[in-house]
Structure 1
């Protein structure tokens, strides 16, 4: 009985991400961008640790009739894709007249990512752009690019969904894991600071945020080039 209760608790914890996604969506329509990213960050944390809890509770064997992986994907599609797409439209990050079409591009390309059974490599990298549009929306909002530049970024990332390019999973990739985790921590802390003080961009937060971003991009490029070299 205790094992079943623990397993159900893990599923409820995973499902709570949908509630945080709903709160983020409400914040979009209340024109509170900082709150949007707060709730998306909470959902991201839930998504980052629920797998560990599921393995410890042996959820797959204790509750074989409930597919935790499917539950996780449903929640992720809301928080990683739907909410960020609505955010980009609502806050004018996309060109007038094309915003809805571009949001549709985000939703459609992401469906392939979530349905792709080969979305992870044997060494835990994502294969193709992993539909982390919540992260993309954050960059576009903080960096304040021209909407047409944002259009090019969205189109390029959508195309990368269908490629074999490798993208770092900082909590799963074992190569240089301490550095991966450190860069991720710096990115979270500095990014949170930038969101809190937006539209200011203090160098004490902006420089380490971009440096951590550069590290992750470098890891993705290194792993992808390794494949090309055979």
Structure 2
């Protein structure tokens, strides 16, 4: 009798555990908004370093919640709540709005261009987040994927000038509407082990350069070796994007 009762009850208990796990993933995704709030607080305080660190925390959350959701079958066990929409809301805040505010707040573009540059970032990102064909068959992004958080990070680490930044912002915004290919380091199968290793190296170097560089000193001057490795890792990703965009064979398969 006890054995039969357990046979009936265990599936229900298992389902409750899976439902709880699915909602825990949603809660983990939602925690990204707290990191965003702390980034905004740092931005208001005029601290670009802490703003970037909190944006990095939100990026880590965004990187892990998707695989967790797929593994735990969140859409099956929490079907009434759309985690994709939750993810998009937080991503638009951390990938576009806060970086746009950084461009405005920290003088990353020439005087008088702050509002146009920030507005261009936010409006072009809207197309990206609304684009139903943002991913290719092999999980590359088609068009610039509005990763403006990484763009402002590169501005800060490379200490590029305001006019250079403005040109880059203009070009990347245009690439949102062009089918150039941008690598997703976790989802693209081609060269995945190497890409994941380079991603880990890049992330480690980024954290070191942001956290350890003294104020008023460019990372390239403070840690030239680490900055050189960071640059090489960044060029690896750019190389993948350029190769995938230019590949005629893969281009035909996209169509």
Q: Which moved more, 1:219-228 or 1:192-201?
A: 192-201
Report the Cα offset of residue 29 of structure 1: 1.0
1:59 counterpart = 2:80: no
Q: Between Structure 1 and Structure 2, how many residues are aligned?
A: 230
Consecutive aligned runs of 4 or more in structure 1 exceeding 6 Å deviation:
none
**What is the aligned counterpart of 1:205 among 226, 234, 238?**
226
Contact 2:103–2:117 (CA<8 Å) still a contact in 1? no
Alignment partner, residue 152 of structure 1? 167
- Measure the CA separation in 1 of the matches of 2:163 and 2:225: 29
Unaligned 5+ segments in structure 2 are 1-15
Quote the offset at 1:227 in angstroms.
Answer: 4.0
**1:42-76 Cα distance to aligned partner (Å, 9 max, x none):** 11111011011111221101111111111100010
- Structure 1 CA distance for aligned equivalents of residues 170 and 248 of structure 2: 24
Aligned ranges 1:173-188 → 2 under 5 Å: 173-188=188-203
| Cα deviation 1:107-162 (Å, max 9, x = unaligned) | 00000000000000010000100000000001111222221111110000000000
Query: Which one of 2, 7, 10 corresponds to residue 25 of structure 2?
Result: 10
Question: Equivalent residues in 2 for 1:10-89 (5 A)?
Answer: 10-89=25-104
TM-score, length-scaled by structure 2? 0.87
Q: Where does residue 106 of structure 1 map in the other structure?
A: 121
Normalising by structure 1, we get a TM-score of 0.96
Q: Tell me how far apart the structure 2 counterparts of residues 82 and 117 of structure 1 sit (CA, whole Å).
A: 21
**CA deviation map 1:176-200 (0-9, x unaligned):** 0011111111111111121121524
Q: Is contact 2:110–2:163 with CA below 8 Å preserved after alignment?
A: yes
Q: Distance in 2 between matches of 1:32 and 1:178?
A: 36
User: Partners in 1 of 2:69 and 2:189 — Cα distance?
Assistant: 20
CA distance in 2, matches of 1:56, 1:177: 19
Please give the alpha-carbon distance, in whole angstroms, between the structure 2 residues aligned to 1:55 and 1:157: 30
Gaps of 5+ in 1: none
Deviates more, 1:212-221 or 1:142-151: 142-151
Following superposition, the deviation at residue 106 of structure 1 comes to 0.2
Higher mean displacement: 174-183 or 1-10: 1-10
Which residue number corresponds to residue 220 of structure 1? Answer: 241
Q: Matches of 1:66 and 1:216 in 2, distance apart?
A: 34
* Superposition RMSD in Å: 1.2
Q: State the structure with more CA Rg.
A: 2
Partner Cα separation in structure 2 for residue 168 and residue 56 of structure 1? 22
More off after superposition, 168-177 vs 181-190: 181-190
Distance across 1 between alignment mates of 2:160 and 2:18: 50
